[in-house]
Amino acid sequence: MTRAEEFLRYVSGPGEIRELRLFTSNGYIWAGTFDDPERMARHALAAQNHYGATAAYFTLNSIRPEDAALIGDQQMNRVSMRPRRTTRDAQVLRRDLYLIDIDPVRPSGTCSTDEEKAAAFEVITQIRAYLSERGWPEPIFIESGNGYHLPIRVTDAAPPPVLGASC
């Protein structure tokens, strides 16, 4: 299993539907809905090789099944070029994932320095500890290039605890 498949399996629960959107260097957009994280990962990775995709995006939260057919080419687990529609906020079924993204403040188009990245690591480590102490689900830890991400998976069975006024 690839790292992309592992990550998408972490963020997607059984039967949850997410949109994958791919951007190519020639300005084309490819999109489709997926209820299979492994197939989504394979499409995203293949798009780099076959369609010239330079960036990929997926909806953090699952979308309503009745809206899945409106996105892409109306077939599940595949992408289509130049979709007529993509996911809108109103099509989100529920919040499944909280994403904390910590990057150093720096001029646009520049990479973070080692010192800035170390400072971002300190901040994300403190946030992770703070949430853990308050009973939040354990996030996975991702290095993002210039900083760090903490995607936190929540479910109806394990909603995030309410953070009081002390945070």
Tokens (6 digits) for 102 = 């910590």
Q: Please report the pLDDT score of residue 129 as a whole number.
A: 94
Q: Please report the pLDDT score of residue 73 as a whole number.
A: 60
Contact of 9 with 42, CB cutoff 8 Å? no
Contact of 15 with 62, CB cutoff 8 Å? no
Q: Please report the pLDDT score of residue 167 as a whole number.
A: 43
Q: Which residues pair with 152 in a beta bridge?
A: 98
| Exposed e or buried b per residue across 114-130, where buried means at least 16 C-beta atoms within 10 angstroms of its C-beta | eebbebbeeebeeebee
Global pTM reads 0.77
**pLDDT one digit per residue (tens) for the chain, 167 residues:** 677 778 888 888 788 899 998 888 888 888 889 998 888 888 888 887 777 788 888 888 889 888 887 776 667 888 888 877 888 888 888 888 889 999 998 888 899 999 999 999 999 999 999 999 988 888 888 888 889 999 888 876 555 666 654 44
Q: Please report the pLDDT score of residue 165 as a whole number.
A: 47
Query: Torsions phi, psi of 144, nearest 5?
Result: -105, 5
Q: Please report the pLDDT score of residue 164 as a whole number.
A: 55
